[in-house]
Amino acid sequence: MTKRWEVRLIGTGGQGVVTASIILADAALREGKNVVQSQNYGPEVRGGHSTAYVIISEESILYPKVDRPNLLVVMSGKDHEPYLKDISEEGLLLVDGEEDSDPLPANVYRIPITHIAHDEVERPITANIVCLGAIVGLTDLVSVGAAIAAMEASIPPRAVVINRKAFTLGLQAARKAREKRAAELQQPTTF
């Protein structure tokens, strides 16, 4: 059976979630998949509510609406619990934020997307590209090559190097989080 990915990205205006969704959709198209991309946002240019949707499937997409995403990315807000009811049973939740000592459910990942963009890339504007790398690293939804090609096609040539760095750091952070979670789930329980 073919996997149909339904992705919802939630953020605030100016974070670039719509741009990240467009790049993700383009990457899937480059791999020959069927794609639907849409967005909605408040009237504010920056700081208002912004949501983007991407559906990716190898089969025809007859229903182009995301009801219960199997990947939900939240770029604003630290509390993951309100969003758990929104994802599908097997869905993943990716929340921007630092890991803390509280254990997370197996399907929730907290990755410091904004921190990486601000402190490691030293360009806060690249948070959406860090997010794109984290999505690819967490899900393998599209290939790294397709994601980079789509990203490079959507940005000015002078910004390629810094955005490649942002993408790579997001990819690495997500893969590290995925490996850590897999190791945690395989540890025997001791009493």
Residue 191 has pLDDT above 60, yes or no: no
Residues 89-103: what's their mean pLDDT? 85
Name the H helices within 31-159.
81-84, 113-115, 127-139, 144-154
Residues 82-97: what's their mean pLDDT? 90
Long-range contacts of residues 179-183, Cβ cutoff 8 Å, at least 24 apart: 181/106, 181/109
Q: How far is CA 45 from the centre of its chain?
A: 22
DSSP code for 56: E
Q: Are 25 and 37 in contact (CB under 8 A)?
A: yes
Of 54-68, 87-101, 176-190, the range with the lowest mean pLDDT is 176-190
* Greatest pairwise CA separation for the chain in angstroms: 57
Residue 105 has pLDDT above 90, yes or no: no
Q: Are 50 and 39 in contact (CB under 8 A)?
A: yes
Give helix 17-30 / helix 144-154 axis angle, nearest 10°. 120
Domain 5-186 part of CATH 3.40.920.10:
yes
Give the model's pLDDT for residue 150.
98
DSSP code for 188: P
Express each pLDDT in 10-68 by its tens digit.
998 888 999 999 999 999 999 999 999 999 877 666 667 889 999 999 999 999 999 89
Sketch the domain layout of the chain as residue ranges. 5-186
Residues 160-178: what's their mean pLDDT? 97
Question: Which phi-psi region, left, alpha or beta, contains residue 158 (left: φ > 0; alpha: ψ -120 to 50)?
Answer: alpha
Give the model's pLDDT for residue 43.
67
Q: Are 19 and 6 in contact (CB under 8 A)?
A: no
Express each pLDDT in 115-145 by its tens digit.
999 999 999 999 999 999 999 999 999 999 9
Q: Are 141 and 168 in contact (CB under 8 A)?
A: no
pLDDT-derived band at 100 (thresholds 50, 70, 90) equals: confident
Shortest CA distance to 72 belongs to which of 154, 131, 149? 131
Pairwise pLDDT comparison (94 vs 191), residue with the higher score = 94
Q: Are 151 and 16 in contact (CB under 8 A)?
A: no
Residue 1 has pLDDT above 50, yes or no: no
Residues 163-169: what's their mean pLDDT? 98
**Cα–Cα distances in angstroms (integers) from residue 185 to residues 21, 95, 102, 177, 181, in the given order:** 30, 20, 16, 12, 6
